[in-house]
Amino acid sequence: MFDAEIAATLLNRWDRGFSTSCNQSPLDILHEGNLSFAREVGNMGAGRAVNLNSFHIECLAFVDGSRVLRIGEAGMVTVWTDWAAIEPLQPLPQHVSREARCARAG
């Protein structure tokens, strides 16, 4: 089991109101569980300005290479998706030809 899978479960429970503390952030809970991570936030959309067609992205990258992320619709109040766990990315073997890589992607 990857760190991101544990974190996604905890963060989604927190977001649904199953937290036991009003004074802690969900990220504090992850730190208490000895989950080390880096937090990255950003915006995605057309142009550089945040507008109604853009999205907020929040990602936590863990030391085992796994990640959790969620996407929120930009607006006056951000509505977030559930946290999703992503396994560490595995590089393609060096002996795989370019044609084989393209065939897999298509």
What tens digit of pLDDT does each residue of 83-99 get? 999 999 887 666 655 66
Q: Which amino acid is at 58?
A: E
Q: What percent of the chain has pLDDT over 70?
A: 74
Please indicate whether residue 101 or residue 85 has the higher confidence score (pLDDT).
85
Residue 99's DSSP bridge partners are none
Q: Token digits for 86?
A: 């992503």
Q: How confident is the model at residue 41 (pLDDT cuts 50, 70, 90)?
A: very high
Distances (CA, A) of 104 to 41, 87, 88, 93, 98: 30, 19, 19, 13, 10
Q: Token digits for 94?
A: 């060096």
> What residue ranges do the domains of the chain occupy?
3-105
Please indicate whether residue 22 or residue 62 has the higher confidence score (pLDDT).
62
**Is 47's pLDDT higher than 70?**
no
pTM score, whole prediction: 0.73
